[in-house]
Amino acid sequence: MQITTTKGLMDESLLEKKSGSLDNENEFTTWVEYWLDGELVHRSVHVHLKQNVVAEGIQAMLA
């Protein structure tokens, strides 16, 4: 698979892949990184918001 990097398209096999996630009451987030010789050349992030974080504020404003 070809990966878009700061050095152009590169084959995934040439890169070191790291990934992680964050899960809390506000979001579920995943990210993937590709490194080349210790240099970060690609990082993508997907944040999935779980809830509306301003509902209480709007409710208070209208109350």
Kindly report the backbone phi and psi dihedral angles of residue 49, in degrees, each rounded to the nearest multiple of 5, phi listed first.
-70, 135
The binding site for another protein (CB under 8 A) comprises 4-6, 22, 26-27, 29, 31-33, 40-55, 57-59, 62
Residue 48 tokens, joined: 């999935």
CB of 22 to another protein, least distance (A): 5
Contacts by residues 31-34 (CB-CB < 8 Å, ≥ 24 positions apart) = 34/3, 34/5, 34/10
CB of 53 to another protein, least distance (A): 6
CB of 13 to another protein, least distance (A): 18
